[in-house]
Each structure stands twice: as structure tokens, then as C-alpha cells.
Amino acid sequence: MKSRALRVPRSEGERARQRLRDARALRGDLKILEEGEWIFLPLTDEASVAPEEGTLLERDFALAADRGPQDYRDLLTTWSVEDREALPRSYDVIGEIVLLRLPTSLAPRGREVGEALLRFVPGARLVGADFGVHGPERRREVLRLAGSGPWRTRHRENGLEFEVDLERAYFSPRLAREHARVAAEVDVGNRVYDLCCGVGPFALTIAHVAQPARVVAVDSNPWAIELLRLTAARYAFGGRVEPLKVEVERFLDGAERVDRVILNLPHEGIKYLPSVGNAVSTGGRLFFYEVTDRAEEGSRPASLVERLGGSAAWRLRERHVVHPYSPAADLVAYTFERSSG
């Protein structure tokens, strides 16, 4: 049967499905279609979808013969409606690991929640409670709810498979679009620094889709650098990436200027801003991520430009919210360009 549909990359399929379902924009009577790297999600007539969410088109879909449960919480049949609704609808899928923010009040029933997700998410091996990232290395605190095996997995994103260890090095499946967006802004032959690179999703995506001369990827966490090396070793283009286990402040001391610099350290990055700016060549760009208070979002670009060295040398090219961070703040992506100096 023909239906309006949203086409998204496979790596974003689960997130898009959850988003559309929550907005009641996903048709439940038709089967989601998978084709190579793409997922096609059938849309309801009322669905309104922003252009940046994917490509809108028409496709033929098969009827969903047995729809089964549409929500993992439907599998918790002995639970009260109240308890079920206290659980988050959404969860993250990283490789074959599922992570969910479990409310403290339901912690004693974590195993049941884990078992439900294990049954509900195709290919899931391990389900964990996610207590967020902490410390200078932004390591994730996780607690096994159900399933087995290590926190080590391979996660597919933007056509690449990354080595990930959820306990030992930062990784978020929510930044896939950012990794692709920044990579699309790198020109052939560019020299790039990926500062605070984690397991290397910016650096490796850039090496994959652009043809940079070199990407130097810097992180202080030895596990992150080791995982990056392992991913890079599996791809021919991995040779363009040079992983360095070093503090960003030490690396920047005397670093030559390059065409593109990425700094994704949203709480602490601000303290490195002047020296990070010095590492950008004239005409070059800085991709900077920050958790910004919503009340300050209008004035923030000007104060960041000041911090970089002033508006004679720097201008804001683009800025957008990546996702809400808290009730009063967003994770914001800023692209600055150096015009002189």
C-alpha cells in the first residue's frame, strides 16, 4: 500500500521511529521498510516533519499482519498503568546494548524493565540503566539490568562501525547528525584537529567522507584513543587519522594552525577557547559545542567571539540546538570562521 514516508539513514532509524511514534506521526498499520543503508517510516496523514529530519517521499509498504506490542512498556503486563507511564518511552541503542534512564522509584524493578527491553528491541544483548556521564573523561555510569556480556560493542553510524566501550570511554548515539554535518564542511586536503575526540566519531567520519590531508585526534583518555585506533585499523582511510593521547592544553601549546578544528567538551571547553582559536588558520572554521542556558542563547555568540579574540577576526557562521540538555539549557553547536589575524 502506498504511503507518505520519511527516509532516514539506518543509524538513525530507531531514534526517528521513537520520535515519530511519540508525535503520533508513525503509521502502525504498515511495516517499516529497510533497504540497504536506509529505513523508510510510513507517516500518518497529519504528520508534519521538519526537512532536517530526513527525506520525505512516497513508498509502497506491506501491511503489518501482526503488529505486536508497539512499546516495550506494553510487555510489563502485570504493572499498573501509573508505573508503566513513569518509565521513559525512549531509550538509546548502541550496537547491541540498550540504555535507558530508569527513575529511582522503579530501580527495584529494573530487572523486569531490562527483560522487557531485551525482548522488545531486535538484536539486543544487554540492557543497562544509564546514570549519565561523569568526570573529566565523561565516562558513562551504567548498571546492568538484564542480558549478558561486556559493555564493549560495535556501533554503526553514518556507514561506519565504531568500537565502543560504554564504561571506559565517552560515546553518544545522539550526535550522529553532528558527526556527518561537520564532516560535510571539510574540504579536500584540509588539515583538521579533533580535540577531545573520544572514540573518534568526528575524526573517522571526516576521514571517511572528505579527503582531508590529515586529522589529528586528541584525547586524554587512553581507552578512547585505543578504541579509536582499533576502529581506524579496520578502514583504509583510517591512515589519515593520527590518534594522540594527550591533554588538549599540552597539545595546543605550539600546535600549527589548521583549516578545521572541532572542540566537543560542552561543559569545560570554554576555558580552552582562546588557545583553540589560535589553532585555526585564516579562512578556517571552529566547530564548538557548549551547554548554553536558554536565557543566554541570543547573546552567547557575541561573547564567544570576544573570547576567541574579537569580531575583527572572528564571525559566527551558524548555530543550532543539537538537543535539549536540561529544562533551562540546550546543547548548542556553534560554527565560527576566522576572517583574519
Nearer to ligand SAM, 18 or 172 (CB): 172
Touching ligand SAM, residues 177-206 (CB under 6 A): 196-198, 201-202
Q: Which of 72, 171, 193, 334 touches ligand SAM by CB under 6 A?
A: 171
Does residue 162 contact residue 200 with C-beta atoms inside 8 Å? yes
> What stretch of H or E contains 206?
helix 201-209
Please tell me the distance from the alpha carbon of residue 277 to that of residue 309, in angstroms, as a whole number: 8
Which span (25-33, 38-46, 108-116, 219-227) binds ligand SAM, by CB under 6 A?
219-227
Nearest-5° Cα angle at 116, 112 to 117: 120
**Among all residues, whose Cβ is closest to ligand SAM?**
198
Q: Supply the minimum distance, in Å, between the C-beta of residue 232 and ligand SAM.
A: 14
Please tell me the distance from the alpha carbon of residue 279 to that of residue 17, in angstroms, as a whole number: 40
Q: Which of 72, 162, 170, 334 touches ligand SAM by CB under 6 A?
A: 170
Nearest-5° Cα angle at 198, 194 to 199: 105
Please tell me the distance from the alpha carbon of residue 244 to that of residue 262, in angstroms, as a whole number: 15
Q: Is position 247 an interface residue for ligand SAM (rule: CB under 6 A)?
A: yes
Q: Is position 97 an interface residue for ligand SAM (rule: CB under 6 A)?
A: no
Nearer to ligand SAM, 76 or 217 (CB): 217
Which span (10-18, 92-100, 168-176, 181-189) binds ligand SAM, by CB under 6 A?
168-176
Does residue 34 contact residue 41 with C-beta atoms inside 8 Å? no
3-state secondary structure of 280: strand
Nearer to ligand SAM, 72 or 162 (CB): 162
Which residues here bind ligand SAM, judged by CB under 6 A?
Answer: 136-138, 170-172, 175, 196-198, 201-202, 218-221, 224, 247-248, 264-265
